[in-house]
Amino acid sequence: MGLADSSQDLSTEMEVDAFRRIFPLRFFERHLSESLRPDGRQLGKARDTIVNLGLVSTADGSALAKIGSTTMLAAIRMEVMTPSTDSPDEGCIALEFHMPPICSPTVRPGRPADAAPVISKRLSDTILSSGMIDLKELCLVSGKAAWMGYLDIYCLDADGALFDAALLSAVAAFSNLQIPVVALNDNGRIVAITGGKDQDNASITEKEAVNKEKRKLTLKNIPFSLTCILHKNYILADPTTEEESIMDTLVTVVLDSSDQMVSFYKSGGTALAYSSAIKSCIELARKRAKELKQILGEMDID
């Protein structure tokens, strides 16, 4: 009682910025009661999203995804390895999510951020279980050689909804991926063909090119995600870091391009959700998936 009254009195005297810092929850609730957020967005609206491809020339496929200020750079490098005996026709994808200290004032050097390994695992699980990539396409010579794709995602700016931006950048990087051309030489080893010189062309007739030209992977069932915050009876889509720090119940829904649910994630939090709230989150995720499909479609990604 006393606290509520004092903040009401102070709010008329205080500057907006000070009120935002000292009474963050009240600041947000004042906005939520008008169905708005401090940055002017509607409750169910996500921030502006941009995707750019092919930025890292040293990688076989790369993409930069920005949702609002949250920036993720994903890059894939392919290496040849021997497939395991129980799946001799399949390649492998190794995913790692990094949060270097540049991305946020809360990340200290020498100590990995708390969120990083969690997001890393969730991303790995989501991408593999969505069936977006057919591991058999990564096979070179059955039982002897297959591709191992190392996908590294670096967070360059952490402003909320890290999982969404990371998943988007991973998907875009896979669409940009061009598998290098290799040949099997006489020793039974795989060597890269850099292509173009006359000497190589002559020796190619001896070495059989294992894959004819640089090719892309076929992506089916692309996953799209949306993270929401549940607070009392409000649902806020695509939260910023400030919103995530004040209201702690996060829900992430991942749908694929055929509108099927790939994953649902709610790990505790003070707000317990009714099934109606869950359904609303899924509805918002469906709308967001359409938006994202359009954005990726504009960049010629199927």
Partner 1 sequence: MEYVNPEGLRLDGRRFNEMRQIVAEVGVVSKADGSAVFEMGNTKVIAAVYGPREIQNKSQQKKNDHAVVLCEYSMAQFSTGDRRRQKFDRRSTELSLVIRQTMEACILTELMPHSQIDIFLQVLQGDGGTRSACINAATLALADAGIPMRDLAVSCSAGYLNSTPLLDLNYVEDSAGGADVTVGILPKLDKVSLLQMDAKLPMETFETVFALASEGCKAIAERIREVLQENTKQLEYRRAA
Please give the residue ranges that form the binding site for partner 1 (CB under 8 A). Answer: 56-59, 62, 69, 71, 73, 75-77, 79, 96, 98, 100-105, 108-109, 150, 152, 154, 156-159, 241
Q: Which is nearer to partner 1, 159 or 238 (CB)?
A: 159
Q: Which is nearer to partner 1, 96 or 125 (CB)?
A: 96
Q: Look up residue 89 and give its amino acid.
A: D
Q: Which is nearer to partner 1, 159 or 256 (CB)?
A: 159
User: Rounded to the nearest whole angstrom, what is the least distance from the CB of residue 241 to partner 1 in the complex?
Assistant: 7
Angle (nearest 5°) at CA 182 between 177 and 187? 150
Paired tokens of 222: 């692309």
User: Rounded to the nearest whole angstrom, what is the least distance from the CB of residue 57 to partner 1 in the complex?
Assistant: 6
User: Rounded to the nearest whole angstrom, what is the least distance from the CB of residue 113 to partner 1 in the complex?
Assistant: 13
Q: Which is nearer to partner 1, 126 or 241 (CB)?
A: 241
Output the CA torsion sign for 39, 66, 171, 167: negative
User: Rounded to the nearest whole angstrom, what is the least distance from the CB of residue 41 to partner 1 in the complex?
Assistant: 16
Nearest to 61 by CA among 216, 234, 188: 216
DSSP 99-149: --GGG-TTPPTTS--SHHHHHHHHHHHHHHHHT-S-GGGGEEETTTEEEEE
User: Rounded to the nearest whole angstrom, what is the least distance from the CB of residue 109 to partner 1 in the complex?
Assistant: 5
User: Rounded to the nearest whole angstrom, what is the least distance from the CB of residue 290 to partner 1 in the complex?
Assistant: 27
Write the DSSP symbol of residue 103: G
Q: Which is nearer to partner 1, 70 or 280 (CB)?
A: 70
Backbone angles phi and psi of 64, in degrees to 5: -120, 125
Contacts (Cβ under 8 Å, ≥6 apart) of 167: 123, 126, 127, 223, 224, 225, 254
User: Rounded to the nearest whole angstrom, what is the least distance from the CB of residue 42 to partner 1 in the complex?
Assistant: 22
Q: Which is nearer to partner 1, 20 or 220 (CB)?
A: 20
Q: Look up residue 20 and give its amino acid.
A: R
Rounded-to-integer distance, Cα 154 and Cα 161, Å: 14
Q: 269: number of CA atoms within 13 Å, CB side?
A: 20
Say if CB 74 and CB 173 are below 8 A apart.
yes
Q: Which is nearer to partner 1, 12 or 58 (CB)?
A: 58
Say if CB 135 and CB 147 are below 8 A apart.
no
Residue labelled with tokens 């810092």: 21
Say if CB 206 and CB 186 are below 8 A apart.
yes
Q: Which is nearer to partner 1, 178 or 263 (CB)?
A: 178
